[in-house]
Structure 1
Amino acid sequence: MTAFVLVSEAFTGSWIWQEVVAGLRSAGAEAHPVTLTGMGDPTRPAGPGTDLETHIEDVARAIDSVDAPEVVLVGHGYGIHPVLGAAGRRPGRVARIVYLDSGLPQDGDAPLKVVPDPAVHELLAGRDGGGDRLIPAPALDEWGRWGSLDGVPGEALERLTRLAAPQPAGTFTQPLRLPEEVAGLPTTGVLCTANGSSIEMVEAFVRLGDPQLRALVDPRVSFFELPTGHWPMLSCATELAEVLVQAGAGEGYRLSVDGRPREESFLLEVPEMPRERVGRVDLHLPDADGPRPAVVFVHGGPFPADLRPTPRDSATFTGYGRYAASLGVVGATVDHRLHDLADYGRAAEDVAAAVELVRADPRVDGERVALWFFSGGGLLSADWLAAAPSWLRCVAATYPVLAPMPNWGLVPDRFRPAEAIQRAGRLPFVLTRVQLERPEIAATVVEFLTAAEKCAAAVEIVDVPGGHHGFETLDHTEEARRAVERAMGSVLGHLRG
């Protein structure tokens, strides 16, 4: 009989697992939901010094109270931090750790690092890190800041609000310490796709060679997806219980990548062109006399800071830069510092500095510039759409993210192209859309296009039949080649028109 110890998101307690517990027990499993200190159990109120260590000890005691020789620990959101800490104290008792729509914290990370609600960060920004204060639970209309509420019935949301408890500040700010033994334990990720996570997205980041994610290709690591928001115990408790039983049995999807960057090539044959590197910017230069228009290509992310090759040296961006130069314009690529969801402001500064560097180059016609954004870099287009300068002749975006994902709470409000397009006037926007886009990204494109239609924005859509996210190196098809040629032709037409 499998025994589950269940630890939930911030502000909640054992009550939130009620239906999941019933499902697990009906399947023949043990279920032990935990209410952490200060989270609603009147016998264990929060006191001075209640912190992450307190909650780790709570979970360790819960493990000790289970008669089964091994337990499956389930951590939802914040709950993964005390789960991992307790696993380090009782590694011999842990059969598997389940990350339920949670982050992937490393040794030394405080839970605050992955808290999506900006209001919590503001409350804990003081020098004492919040001290012994209690962080109030979200109000009824604030839970969306913690992730998607997709599928949660109204009465369940009201109950969540009514029973939620304020959380001690120290549980967010104290760093997590992980012994080496934790890394050797089997794990399962349960991803909630409506909250912005998917197996396809995880595989894409593993292919990039992110060293923190390479461990996910271990055969002891499995994955499941649930088509719901951040609160599956409230939106699809029966399905969650079924997935947990399967996870406890070691089932699930294994990643089909080896963790090494894939050798890639651009889908078009483009000639070698002169390239100059100036700081974070590469200029791909045409064979032409006099100043020429320029296209600044802005990569996506977040990408790890130690990713090699960097985006501007990748086959995709080298290819786009050369292609633009071969057609008689300056192709500029920039390595901006979008390494984390909290980095969008810094990345925007890098892009703005790169644009000014390009415009100041004597080989560039500074009055004829286009900006072309890719993937997660699509959010960076919002600044330019909201206040387009006269020299910006066109904005383009390829398989872009055009609204923050529900679990991207740390992204500042200004990075919302679906809102900014309403202030873009008649600025041309060339959107390259792939047929096989990840559903969580496709939803942001739909949101953007709905807003664009309402304000009659000048949006041109270039579709890629059978195309995937990153199709320039994945799909060397005739349809994909024609899409790149059409998008580039449209952008250059706006530059020259």
Structure 2
Amino acid sequence: MTTFILVSGVFTGPYVWEETAARLTAAGAEVRAVALSGLAGAPAADGAEIDLARHIADVLAVIDAVAREGGGEIVLVGHDYGIHPVLGAADRRAEAIARIVYLDSGLPQDGVPALAAVPDQGVREEVLRAAAGVAGKAGGTLAPPARDAWQLWGSTADVPGPALDRLTALASPQPLGTLLQPLRLTGAAATVPMAGVLCAGNGATIAMVQARVDFGEPSLQGLTDPRVTFFELPTGHWPMLSGPMSLAVTLLEAAAGGGHRLSPAGGTPPPPFLLDVPGLPRERTDNVDLYLPPDARGPRPAVLFVHGGPVPREARPTPRDWPGLMGYARLAAERGVVGVTLDHRLHALTDYEQAAADLADAVERVRADPRVDADRVALWFFSGSGPLTADWLGGPPPWLRCLAANYPVMAALPNWGRLDGRFHPADAVAHSGSLPIVLVRAGLEAAAVASTVEMFLAAAHAHGAAVEVIDVPNGHHDFEAVDRTDESREAVHRAMRTVLRHLTA
């Protein structure tokens, strides 16, 4: 028999699990939903201050009770903040735990408080201000969000209105100590098999995690252990409210050791560019590579290809050595213009400002090159570089002849928190004037990313922006690498023809 111990996230309590718990029970499992001290009307037993250590003790008490009762294999499930007390308890009772399930949560590390995992910078600052206000005093809490503010803590996609009303009505203030006290781990919990349940509607997919593993991000390499599996649900951050049956089925499969296993970094080399392009040489200066047309005479127009991200600082090869970007640059050079790739410093979600500075600097250096026609330049963005388009849409210079974007992320994903207002393309496009915009849209895009594209296109249409959409109906994000089909090849050709038409007109 399996006993699921369910630990909910910030502001919530056992009530969020009711439908999922009923379905698990109907399937023959035992279920214990933990009432964390200070939440959902559960006071601390001794009236002491409530912090992360207290919540770890709450989970330990349930683990020990199940063990005394002979409750079979224990599967610990932590949603959102709940993964912090789950890991703290598993670290102290590793021998008693069969599996840990990370339900749309982060990967907490030793010595790091739960506040670090809060996606929204504004909320983090609010917590720190509240903590400063009670410095030297006991207690202190963070007020729960209003009904329309739950999005700051994770996507509410697919949550029925009545369920969202109930979530709001029953929410409790979150004790500040639970967010500010560092998690202390000995490493014992790392020996326990784990499963990650990702919610695509909140901006997390298995493909995204695999990509970050492939980048070489050190903290994620352990996820390729065969004891680690992954599941993906097509919903927002609250699957126990938006899809309790699907969540229950997933948890049962996770408990049985099912799920998708990631490939180790370097296990599969990146595929070559999907088109046959000549192996033109490049000139490398600092963080910029130039691919020159083989028969260049006089200054030629240029296309700068801007990689997505965030890309870990340690990633090797760096983006300008990726076959896809090199292929695009060589294709541009073959068509008679200068192809340019660059490495910019978008290493974290907080790095858009420095990435924007890197791009602006590269643009000026490229335009200053005597082999480049400084009055005919195009910028072509990919994936997570989408927010960087706002700088150029908001007041395009006369030399910018076209702006293109492949499967772009055009707004902060739900699990990103809020981006600085400077990086909101849907707002900036109101000022794009007659700038030609070419958007290559993947038909099988992740829902969270697709919604940012549709929001941008709606704004562009409302303001009469000159947008041409090139659809790849059967294409996924990064379709050039994952969908090596005639449809994908034609999309690349069409996009390149369209950009060059505007660039050379």
TM-score normalised according to structure 1 size: 0.92
Tell me, in whole angstroms, the C-alpha distance in 2 between the residues paired with 1:283 and 1:125: 46
* 2:475 matches 1:454: no
Shift of residue 42, structure 1, vs aligned partner: 4.6
Shift of residue 371, structure 1, vs aligned partner: 0.9
Write out aligned runs for 1:65-144 (5 A). 65-66=65-66, 67=69, 68-125=71-128, 131=135, 132-144=139-151
Task: Give, as a single letter, the amino acid of the residue that structure 2 aligns with 1:90.
Answer: R
Percent sequence identity is 57
The 1:175–1:328 alpha-carbon spacing in structure 2 relative to 1, beyond 3 Å, is: farther
Tell me, in whole angstroms, the C-alpha distance in 2 between the residues paired with 1:462 and 1:309: 29
Shift of residue 92, structure 1, vs aligned partner: 0.5
Structure 2 equivalent of residue 489 of structure 1: 497
The 1:107–1:279 alpha-carbon spacing in structure 2 relative to 1, beyond 3 Å, is: farther
Find 1:230's aligned residue among 237, 245, 248: 237
CA contact (8 A) 1:72 1:97 kept: yes
Tell me, in whole angstroms, the C-alpha distance in 2 between the residues paired with 1:174 and 1:293: 55
Tell me, in whole angstroms, the C-alpha distance in 2 between the residues paired with 1:86 and 1:118: 28
Tell me, in whole angstroms, the C-alpha distance in 1 between the residues paired with 2:130 and 2:364: 37
Structure 2 equivalent of residue 27 of structure 1: 27
* 2:189 matches 1:182: yes
The 1:88–1:324 alpha-carbon spacing in structure 2 relative to 1, beyond 3 Å, is: same
Question: What is the total number of aligned residue pairs between the two structures?
Answer: 496
Find 1:357's aligned residue among 354, 362, 365: 365
Moved more, 41-50 or 287-296: 41-50
SS of structure 2 residue aligned to 1:244: helix
CA contact (8 A) 2:216 2:314 kept: no
Tell me, in whole angstroms, the C-alpha distance in 1 between the residues paired with 2:359 and 2:181: 34
Write out aligned runs for 1:16-415 (5 A). 16-44=16-44, 50-66=50-66, 67=69, 68-125=71-128, 131=135, 132-255=139-262, 257-260=263-266, 261-286=268-293, 287-415=295-423
CA contact (8 A) 1:465 1:480 kept: no
* 2:11 matches 1:3: no
CA contact (8 A) 1:316 1:472 kept: yes
Shift of residue 410, structure 1, vs aligned partner: 4.4
Tell me, in whole angstroms, the C-alpha distance in 1 between the residues paired with 2:74 and 2:244: 20
Tell me, in whole angstroms, the C-alpha distance in 1 between the residues paired with 2:434 and 2:119: 34
Moved more, 298-307 or 13-22: 13-22
Shift of residue 47, structure 1, vs aligned partner: 7.2
TM-score normalised according to structure 2 size: 0.90
Tell me, in whole angstroms, the C-alpha distance in 2 between the residues paired with 1:301 and 1:129: 34
The 1:45–1:405 alpha-carbon spacing in structure 2 relative to 1, beyond 3 Å, is: farther
Deviations 1:329-351 (A, max 9, x none): 22221211222223223322222
| Structure 1 segments of 4+ aligned residues over 6 angstroms from their partners | 45-48, 127-130
| Unmatched tracts of structure 1, length 5 or more | none
CA contact (8 A) 1:38 1:45 kept: no
Deviations 1:273-299 (A, max 9, x none): 342333322222335343332211111
Shift of residue 127, structure 1, vs aligned partner: 11
The 1:350–1:49 alpha-carbon spacing in structure 2 relative to 1, beyond 3 Å, is: farther
Tell me, in whole angstroms, the C-alpha distance in 1 between the residues paired with 2:165 and 2:444: 37
RMSD after superposition: 2.5
Shift of residue 28, structure 1, vs aligned partner: 2.2
Shift of residue 93, structure 1, vs aligned partner: 0.9
The 1:213–1:244 alpha-carbon spacing in structure 2 relative to 1, beyond 3 Å, is: same
Task: Give, as a single letter, the amino acid of the residue that structure 1 aligns with 2:85.
Answer: P
The 1:278–1:173 alpha-carbon spacing in structure 2 relative to 1, beyond 3 Å, is: farther
The 1:363–1:128 alpha-carbon spacing in structure 2 relative to 1, beyond 3 Å, is: farther
The 1:128–1:350 alpha-carbon spacing in structure 2 relative to 1, beyond 3 Å, is: farther
Shift of residue 69, structure 1, vs aligned partner: 5.0
| Unmatched tracts of structure 2, length 5 or more | none
CA contact (8 A) 1:297 1:317 kept: yes
The 1:45–1:119 alpha-carbon spacing in structure 2 relative to 1, beyond 3 Å, is: farther
Shift of residue 128, structure 1, vs aligned partner: 6.6
